[in-house]
Amino acid sequence: MTNWRKAMEVFNMHVDGVASAHNDARTQLEAFQNQRQSVSHLLQAQGRGMEVAYRTRLMTTLDVTRFLLKQGLPFRGHEESLSSSNKGNFLELIEWYTQRNDEVAKTMNENAPGNNQMKSPTVQKDLTRACVAEVTNVILNDIKDNIFSLMVDECRDILIKEQMGVVLRYVNKHGCVIERFLAIVHVSDTSAISLKKTIDELFAKHKLSLSRLRGQGYDGASNMRGEYNGLKALILKENSFARYAHCFAHQLQLVVVAVAKSNRIVSDFFQYVTMIVNITVFENVYDDDTNDDNSGIATSLIDKMESYEFMFVMHLMKSLLGITNELSHALQQKDQNIVLAVSLIKTMKDRLQKLREEGWENFLDVVNKLCSNHMIPVPNMEENMRTRGRSRRNGQMITNFHHYRVEIFCQVLDTMVQEMNNRFLESSTEVLTCIACLDPKDSFSQFDISKLLHLAELFPKDFSLTDRVILEDQLETYIQNVRVATASVERVFSAMKIIKTDLRNRMGDEWMNDSLVVYIEKDIFAIIENEQILQHFQQMNTHRIQLSPFVVLKWHHQVIAASTIPNMKLCDAGTGRAKTASSPHSASLLNYIRSPSMASVTPLASA
């Protein structure tokens, strides 16, 4: 164009009408420059909508999972088809949730892709595994690199499968003694080698070092406490400072069991008692002529109950169990007083010895009166009787006095005293006795610096020679609030009976372990945020939709959740202006959040 005075006229001719090529090109350019109308933006917006719906479905599933785990309830139903009237706890709770929450209803069931319902058994187990992982992480982070003790016990579940429960005991940063359930593991057999291998694998899995172990606590079985080949010995070979302390409650139980097994007459007594308990209506059975077998059994048991020997043994066992009763109750307390336990053990030994040496005459009078009151014949103690277990021809004649006084009374008491001395040795309670010096009751009346110094000598790896030199002076000022407690891993198996029932007997070992960890450690599980579990769940497997990482920010004691999408809009309540930051971790964002005018943080995608 050579005539610029006609430029506007020429431009207007070029632009032409609304449908001209120029206007069409301009419209397409403006649309290209408008990101909200671009294909990438539309796809991104659709993706964000799918992610929001996915997160809602996943959060709903997690809420139901957490409820069932906390209550120790089964997930699956016997019939989970659409036509079933009871699909099981999990699906029924999902349905209940959906009917009462419109936002959830918009993303679940028919409103969700058929291949992304987030309700399958695999999703249930993965979410549970994520819950367990987060609970276990809290425990391990609490222990960190500190020393700890190990408590182990084995038991058979409802399917007669051997399970080994593992509990860790440690002192947290606040100085409190903590016990945490780590895992329950199926073992092929209960040999010491097999148990030790399982513990090594469990420690390796959780990055726990055996060198930091300072205590072991098991039951009294030979595979556990054997001096040469037991689990205790195998661990001591690798770590000589992992001192063994036998559970007092187990020891007392084993004392009573040993007494019941060592004396044939006492053993027979308990077998008869078991039969008597199982057949509770003797007179009705005896009078019923329709079943000769039951009538015969009832007659025999009634005759046995009305014998002098039965009454004698019954009263003896009643006396012995009465002596052990207070100690038994004290040892089963969750928070045991070591000083009291040691004192009760000594008292019990003294009472048994006194009964053995001085209690015969009074004991015999009580039994004779009891039998007379129930019209049971009392034998003459000077008369002879034939020893049992031999034929009449070869049988040896002994007096009734010898039978009852020596073969029952003295033998049972001697066995019990011997078992008490063997199982409650002073050497085996040495560490506990020293620790008991820190009991704060009665103004630390048990405090003994010499015993505490000896305790330090037992652990030279933790107390160097220099430490021990200055320890005496330090102990003078270290009489503060110290609490000593013991507990039993037996509680794990009580919980196992709740989780793995007759109706849930097919649950796998991993599923049972996951359910138990969360059920037992409810206090930790309650403080774990859903978002931690969801992110762990997302990282376990590849999913069709990946959630954006989530950051939880706190401002003025209020929780502000912000998705880590590259750009974020920060809404200032004071000015109403929007502020964008490149990352929620940036210093400018954190400084802005700390400002008084900061009221909310919202993802740019939801703005």
**Which residue do the tokens 């929780």 mark?**
559
Which tens digits make up the pLDDT trace of 317-342? 999 988 888 888 877 776 666 767 77
Which tens digits make up the pLDDT trace of 368-391? 999 999 999 999 999 988 776 555
Which tens digits make up the pLDDT trace of 265-301? 998 888 888 888 776 755 555 555 555 556 677 777 8
**pLDDT: which is higher, 603 or 539:** 539
* Distance separating alpha carbons of residues 170 and 215, to the nearest angstrom: 10
Average pLDDT of span 84-88: 86
The conformation of residue 547, written as its DSSP 8-state character, comes to P
**pLDDT: which is higher, 26 or 91:** 91
Q: For residue 572, what is the enclosing H or E element? A: strand 568-572
Q: Cα 192 from chain centroid?
A: 23
Least confidently predicted of 82-96, 312-326, 403-417, 510-524: 510-524
* Distance separating alpha carbons of residues 398 and 379, to the nearest angstrom: 13
Q: Classify 198 as helix, strand or coil.
A: helix
* Distance separating alpha carbons of residues 44 and 377, to the nearest angstrom: 96
What is the token pair recorded at 347?
């008292």
| Contact indicator for 416, 320 with CB cutoff of 8 Å | yes
pLDDT for position 603 = 35
**pLDDT: which is higher, 214 or 222:** 214
pLDDT for position 294 = 63
Percent of the chain, pLDDT > 90? 18
Does residue 531 register a pLDDT over 80?
yes
Query: Which of these, 266, 404, 269, 419, lies nearest to 352 by C-alpha position?
Result: 419
| Contact indicator for 310, 272 with CB cutoff of 8 Å | yes
Return the top range by mean pLDDT from 23-37, 157-171, 433-447, 499-513.
Answer: 157-171
pLDDT for position 37 = 54
Average pLDDT of span 213-241: 75
Query: What is the number of residues in the chain?
Result: 607
Residue 47: other Cβ atoms inside 10 A: 12
Query: Which of these, 324, 407, 314, lies nearest to 363 by C-alpha position?
Result: 314
Which tens digits make up the pLDDT trace of 253-262? 888 888 888 8
Contacts 24+ apart (CB under 8 A), 407-413: 407/265, 408/263, 408/265, 408/266, 408/312, 408/313, 408/316, 409/316, 409/360, 409/363, 410/356, 411/262, 411/263, 412/259, 412/263, 412/266, 412/316, 412/320, 413/320, 413/352, 413/355, 413/356
Does residue 39 register a pLDDT over 70?
no
Does residue 569 register a pLDDT over 50?
no
pLDDT for position 79 = 83
DSSP letter string, 500-525: S-GGGTT--HHHHHHHHHHHHTHHHH
pLDDT for position 571 = 43
Q: Classify 434 as helix, strand or coil.
A: helix
Looking from the CA of 139 toward its CB, the CA atoms found within 13 Å total 28
- β-pair type (568-572, 550-555): unpaired
Which tens digits make up the pLDDT trace of 182-199? 988 888 887 888 889 999
Q: Give CA angle at 150 (149, 153), nearest 5°.
A: 150
pLDDT for position 19 = 63
* Distance separating alpha carbons of residues 160 and 437, to the nearest angstrom: 43
Mean pLDDT over all residues of the chain? 76
Which tens digits make up the pLDDT trace of 414-472? 999 888 888 777 666 677 777 777 666 666 677 788 888 888 888 888 888 888 888 87
Hey, what amino acid is at 103? E
Which tens digits make up the pLDDT trace of 384-419? 887 765 555 566 788 999 999 999 999 999 999 888
* Distance separating alpha carbons of residues 194 and 162, to the nearest angstrom: 12
Does residue 17 register a pLDDT over 80?
no
First to last CA, the chain: 50
Q: Where are the beta strands (DSSP E) in 79-134?
A: none
Q: How confident is the model at residue 576 (pLDDT cuts 50, 70, 90)?
A: very low
Beta bridge partners of 185: 164
Least confidently predicted of 134-143, 159-168, 222-231: 222-231
